[in-house]
Structure 1
Amino acid sequence: MDKPLHRKAPIMRRRNLILAAILLVLVVLGTYATTIQPTNYTLSRDRIQIAQVRRGDMTVDVRGNGIFAPKSIRWLSAYADGRVENVAVKAGARVRAGDEIARLSNPDLKQHASETRWALQAALAAHQALKMKQQSQLLDARARLLQARHQLERIRLKYHAQSQLLRQNSGAVSRIDYDQTRLDLTQFEEQLSIEQQRVEKLKQTQQSELRADTARVNQLQNALERTETRVKALIITAKQDGIIQTVNIEAGQQVPRGFNVARLAQPRDLIAELQIPERQIRQVMAGQTATIDTHEHQIHGTVIRIDPAVSQGTVQVDVALTGTLPPEARPDLSIEGTIQVSARQNILHVARPALAQSHSPGTVFRLSADGKTAVRVPVIYGEGSADQIELKKGLQVNDQIITSNQQAWAHTDTVSLVQDH
């Protein structure tokens, strides 16, 4: 019975030694952990942007890139088929009304113009001959009318004389001669009437013939004018002063009638076309004021149109320029535009941190009083503009925050700030 008790004692001693060793390791590790200070991410103040929270009025605006575009564009088209002989200008050239843009050739068109001209000359000669012929016919008809009138006057005189003699019973005129004269009088009266009708019908017929021939001559004249206009249009010229934006032809190219040869724009009659992000377009309305930045000058303007379609996440907004255009203004010049959509009064606001979204929560790094560290704090944003944003919660007036992109130190909640020397 005593032998098992001697074996149990060494086992208990070994177990106690193991437990003591484990406890000692834990104590050592705990002591070491308490002596290690957490390392902060270190930033140079000269390489970050710091902004101060303020209370006051804030203008809410949206910003977008864009270009200057002509208010009106005029296409110069080919008025006739032809082959390009020469292109006188290139894109970007300034031209004045009447300057040659390009020259086309069309031998068939020129031959057609010559043939039409010859046909018109022949028609004019025939027209003149027709008028001379009609005048001669009318003179002959009037001569016959005059002869019939004279014959009627003679027989009428004879009839009156015989009537008087017959009443006197002088026997100088027989009854048969009297009746014959009376029949002749009736015949010549009818003949005169017929000749008068013939003259009137001839006039009407001649007028119809002359109108028909005049219409044929006018048709040839119009055809010649159209053909000559097309021949002249083989030389394509600028219709107004402006800048050539594009030229769509080259020497040797065959172009059809109506082909757009070049696009012409007036250089000082421009609008701004801005591309505004779709998520901000709901605040933009026609009539709002805008500022256009050419990177050298700023110009004021007014929103005049908002495109109903969305393209690649942006919406085009057209701005009419109300200020004087600077010297560098020209079509397709890259610009930046800011549209003032509203104004907020007496609010807490700060320079817009990178990646800050309007009406959403976020986090920023707030500087300590001594400016040596910055700690992550939660905030709630309100209305935002291009470079300012409203603060609903999380910061106070005069707080300073880091507005630079925080992705490099997103893994920590505290950063140290040092000054470069």
Structure 2
Amino acid sequence: MKRLLICAVIFLPLFGYIFFPTVPVIKKEELRISSVKQGELKIEVSGYGKLRSRDQRVISSDDKAIVEKVYFYPGDRVEADTVIVAMSNPELVRKVDQASFELAKHKASMEEKKLQDQYTLLEQEQTIHNLRNQIQLEKLNHAAQLELHKKNIVSDIDFERTTLKLSDLEKQLETSIGRLAFLKNLHAKQIELQQKIEDQLQLNYDTAKQMLDKMQVTAGIAGILQELTVDIGSSVSAGEKIALVGSDSDLVVRLKVPQFNADKIKLGMPGRIQTLAGKVDTVVKRIDPTVVDGKVNIEMALVGQHVPGLRPELTVDGSIEIDTIKNALYIELPESVRANSEQSLLKVLNDTGQWQKLRFGMQSDSLIEIKGGAAVGDRFVLSSLANYSDSGSLKLE
């Protein structure tokens, strides 16, 4: 009898477990539970990225220099004439001084020559004036002697001498007038040549001065200083990048999306980004053909009114609407469920849960279409219950 009691104590619980197994119990507050809904389902592809400036300016050094001051840093807003960095180059200062001296020296020499030429022309004009006066007097003398010669009062030799003198004065006048014209032309050619030399010296000075002025590095365009590659005391080589400035008035979004979703995206598809200032509508403008780390860059243009606070390099979350399903059954995306698959979810029936096979369709970022196995209002557990997949049902508390 005693042995019979011992056997009953041992085998009765085992018999009950085999024929009446215990139902696992899970607390509802530990689970994600959602209801099946019906309506318009927008299929969206989400990603993350940054705002980029369509208009960017890379600032580089035209000559070697030393950075003396830094006035602005990345993130600061600048205007086109804002000085970002001040640099120095003693050799450029020497070149400017030398070019300035050569230019001033040549200008002084030209002024001196112009005065000398003017004096020479005045002398020649005075000579012509004197010759004209002499000719006028000689003509009067010649006319008087002509009358006397007719009366044989003046000899032929004296009259001929007067005639020759008048002719000689007229020849001198003609030569002097020609010499005056020649001098004017000569002086003009010389001034033209000297002006070309001055223009070259001016260009040398302007070039040197421009190089020196560029030691005061300006933004060039209004926008946001995005990069600064130098600091006080840095040594900069010719052609070395100093800064990058991007306009904040013409921005685009470069969104990174998973490669397996990129094939569904087409040009012109609508989208939106989320910023601290609110949502901004976008439209797909370019799809990068390259894949980096499993991601594809999608470039989108901003649509509509400009939202305050947008700036280059601002990190944003965004989505692209690739399709819209009318009158669809859908539910929040369960864990470990993928689009266009058949999987079982735990259906909530009051305080119990039973496994139900569902056929899923297209997937959005947070929602997924249900093509079969559920009705509007059905409630399902979205949390992963892989450890309970062998249990026919679960008790929910």
Give the TM-score category using the shorter length.
0.7 to 0.9
Corresponding residue for 2:297?
Answer: 316
Measure the CA separation in 1 of the matches of 2:156 and 2:395: 154
Q: Which amino acid aligns with 1:315?
A: V
Corresponding residue for 2:372?
Answer: 393
Q: 1:39 to 1:263 in 2, by over 3 A?
A: farther
Contact 1:374–1:417 (Cα < 8 Å) also in 2: no
Corresponding residue for 2:85?
Answer: 102
Measure the CA separation in 1 of the matches of 2:271 and 2:212: 49
Measure the CA separation in 1 of the matches of 2:249 and 2:156: 105
Which of 177, 186, 196 is equivalent to 2:177? 196
Q: 1:417 to 1:191 in 2, by over 3 A?
A: farther
Which of 303, 317, 335 is equivalent to 2:316? 335
Measure the CA separation in 1 of the matches of 2:18 and 2:386: 30
Q: Secondary structure at the match of 2:330?
A: strand
Corresponding residue for 2:123?
Answer: 140
Q: Secondary structure at the match of 1:136?
A: helix
Q: 1:306 to 1:240 in 2, by over 3 A?
A: closer
RMSD over aligned Cα atoms: 3.4
Contact 2:125–2:180 (Cα < 8 Å) also in 1: yes
Where do residues 23-42 of structure 1 align in structure 2 (5 Å cutoff)? 35-36=18-19
Corresponding residue for 2:29?
Answer: 46
Corresponding residue for 2:10?
Answer: none
Q: Which amino acid aligns with 1:58?
A: L
Q: 1:297 to 1:304 in 2, by over 3 A?
A: same
Q: 1:394 to 1:207 in 2, by over 3 A?
A: same
| TM-score of the two chains, using structure 2 as the length reference | 0.81
| TM-score of the two chains, using structure 1 as the length reference | 0.77
Deviations 1:309-347 (A, max 9, x none): 2332322223416455365x5543432112233332223
Measure the CA separation in 2 of the matches of 1:376 and 1:40: 17
Q: 1:195 to 1:49 in 2, by over 3 A?
A: same
Corresponding residue for 2:6?
Answer: none
Contact 2:131–2:173 (Cα < 8 Å) also in 1: yes
Q: Secondary structure at the match of 2:390?
A: coil
Where do residues 4-403 of structure 1 align in structure 2 (5 Å cutoff)? 35-36=18-19, 43-93=26-76, 100-163=83-146, 169-239=150-220, 242-265=223-246, 270-294=251-275, 296-303=276-283, 305-312=285-292, 313-317=294-298, 318-320=300-302, 322-323=304-305, 325=307, 329-358=310-339, 360-367=340-347, 369-370=349-350, 372-381=352-361, 383-403=362-382
Contact 1:289–1:300 (Cα < 8 Å) also in 2: no
User: Shift in Å at residue 203 of structure 1?
Assistant: 0.6
- Percent identity between matched residues is 23
Q: Which amino acid aligns with 1:391?
A: I
Q: Secondary structure at the match of 1:134?
A: helix
Deviations 1:225-257 (A, max 9, x none): 332333333233445665433221133322123
Deviations 1:23-81 (A, max 9, x none): xxxxxxxx979944567665443233233223322222221111233453333433442
Corresponding residue for 1:25?
Answer: none
User: Shift in Å at residue 205 of structure 1?
Assistant: 0.9
Contact 2:226–2:313 (Cα < 8 Å) also in 1: no
Aligned length: 382
Gaps of 5+ in 2: 1-13
Gaps of 5+ in 1: 1-30
Measure the CA separation in 2 of the matches of 1:200 and 1:417: 121
Deviations 1:139-193 (A, max 9, x none): 1221222233334434444444455556xx4223444555555554444433322
